[in-house]
Amino acid sequence: MSTPVFVTGIGVISAIGSNVSENLASLENEQAGMGNIRYLETIHRNELPAAEVKLSNKELSEKTGLPGQVSRTALLSTIAAKEALEDAAIEDFPRLRTGFISANTVGGMDKTESFFSAFLTANNRGKLRQVVDHECGKITEIAADRLGIKNYVSTISTACSSSANSIFLGARLIRNGILDVAIAGGTDALTRFTLNGFNTLMILDKEFCRPFDENRKGLNLGEGAGYVVLANEQVASSLRKKPYCLLSGYANANDAYHQTASSPEGTGSFMAMQGALKKARLTATDIDYINLHGTGTQNNDIAEGTAIKRLFGPVYPKMSSTKSFTGHTLGASGGIEAVFSALAVKYGLIYPNLRFHAPMKELPFQPETTFLTHQNIRHVLSNSFGFGGNCSSLIFSAI
């Protein structure tokens, strides 16, 4: 592999914790983050469970130092990205060529929704400051300003593969000598638009989701943010602590099958995983653990499972969906799961697929159901597949 890219810092906030250590403790103790909706104003509050971050906007604002009118999406982003940057502890950071590549799908929609609730009653009502941060790029800019990053700032929005693609882009910028360091990942907050949209598609489970289970009924929406600090070899070698792992492979593919569904054969999923293996110069037998996209919908799990069967059979690595803990955090999912993957490589961990009981009849494998430690993990494959057929896979490898 030419021009290695190192993961030197990680940061995460989700329904199972406000930082890396809290998330890891919840994974180990099999504590899921789903429950009744508390903070989002919605008619579905007591009907549809969701995986909300367990902090109010006021509490998030106090943690970031950002004003209260800032979107929840930006608050989550700032917390996780700051943790990742502090974890990396790059002493000469201001003098390096640095970038912030962040993903999201809802932008400041949570605030816009509040504006229109008042505005629609009378066109002279509503606070305009609630709509100025609506677009996705503004969320990235707010967090980048807080981090002091100005060299390169970019936003990715490709549905549920968004933050995997931001990590993908960060690695390419480093490999091509454009940046020395990239903070890459993504963020998304729950909004009424998102909840209502997924409910209209009839893919939300009224109980806690069961990815890759024969009796799965859909997904639970979640929110959060996850970032990794990527660095070139020169920066990584100057740090006081050893990097978590390498980002050795990545690929993006599109099966162009349907606006909101994957092809039944998992064509895009297969091409993304195959491309990531090729980029990393690995074979299927080299992968020790797959962090599944694993949403719990009928379509996703059969498409992803069929692609895994085609690529890995007849010998399968251990695998699980951590969305059984965090819910589906949409544009943030690839970033959150990149953090979990880096931890899996560094500490030899396998995460459980909660609430799994019945194997899918179409598949010859099933996910892990217990938290495993001291595993010999050299390579982890992390999948993120989005609407519109946009499929991305990342590979994290031991150093």
User: Is residue 258 annotated as a catalytic residue, yes or no?
Assistant: no
- From 209, 245, 293, 379, active-site residue: 293
Give Rg (Cα) of the chain: 20
User: How deeply is 371 buried, as exposed, middle or buried, from its count of CB atoms within 10 A (0-12, 13-18, 19+)?
Assistant: middle
Angstrom CA distances, 360 to 82, 305, 352, stand at 40, 9, 17
Q: In what order do the strands lie in the sheet with 318-320?
A: 152-156, 98-103, 181-188, 224-231, 6-13, 245-254, 390-397, 379-385, 289-291, 318-320
Helices (H), the chain: 20-28, 57-64, 72-88, 109-119, 136-147, 162-175, 192-200, 233-238, 267-280, 298-312, 323-326, 333-347
- From 160, 209, 245, 391, active-site residue: 160
The CA distance from 341 to 124, in Å, is 49
Give rounded-to-5 percent helix, strand, coil for the chain.
Answer: 35, 20, 40
User: How deeply is 332 buried, as exposed, middle or buried, from its count of CB atoms within 10 A (0-12, 13-18, 19+)?
Assistant: buried
The CA distance from 390 to 165, in Å, is 10
User: Is residue 374 annotated as a catalytic residue, yes or no?
Assistant: no
* 398 residue type, one letter: A
User: Is residue 293 annotated as a catalytic residue, yes or no?
Assistant: yes
On the CB side of 184, CA atoms within 13 Å amount to 32
With tokens 């961990």, the residue in question is: 349
The CA distance from 370 to 374, in Å, is 13
- Catalytic residue numbers read 160, 293, 328
